[in-house]
Amino acid sequence: MKNTAPHPMTEQRLQKHLTAMGARVMSRSGRSEHYGSPREFSFEVKALFDNGLGLHILARQYSYRDPWEAQGRVNDLVDISLLKDGTYAELPKGFDYFQRCDTEEGVDWDRFLVIAHCVATINPKIYLLQQLTGDL
pLDDT tens per residue across span 50-80: 999 999 998 876 555 555 455 555 677 889 9
Q: What tens digit of pLDDT does each residue of 3-44 get?
A: 555 577 888 889 999 999 999 999 887 755 545 545 556 788
Mean pLDDT along residues 116-130: 89
Looking at per-residue pLDDT, the higher value among 120 and 29 belongs to 120
Q: What is the per-residue pLDDT for 61?
A: 65
- Residue 49 inside a domain? The answer is yes
- Residue 80 inside a domain? The answer is yes
- The CA-based angle 27-31-36, given to 5 degrees, is 170
Q: What tens digit of pLDDT does each residue of 95-114 get?
A: 888 888 878 888 889 999 99
Q: What is the per-residue pLDDT for 40?
A: 56
Cα separation of 119 and 82, whole Å?
8
From the number of C-beta atoms within 10 Å of its C-beta (0-12, 13-18, 19+), residue 59 rates as: buried
Q: What is the per-residue pLDDT for 64?
A: 53
Q: In the chain, where does DSSP find H-type helix? A: 11-20, 109-121, 125-133
Confidence of residue 127 (pLDDT cuts 50, 70, 90): confident
- Residue 33 inside a domain? The answer is yes
- Residue 1 inside a domain? The answer is no
The total number of structural domains in the chain stands at 1
Range(s) of the domain holding residue 16: 11-133
State in Å, rounded, how far the first CA of the chain is from the last one: 46
Distance set, CA 69 to CA 3, 14, 18, 42, 135 (Å): 12, 21, 26, 20, 47
- Residue 4 inside a domain? The answer is no
3-state helix, strand, coil in the chain (%, to 5): 25, 30, 50
- Residue 3 inside a domain? The answer is no
- Residue 5 inside a domain? The answer is no
Backbone angles phi, psi at 89, to 5 degrees: -145, 175
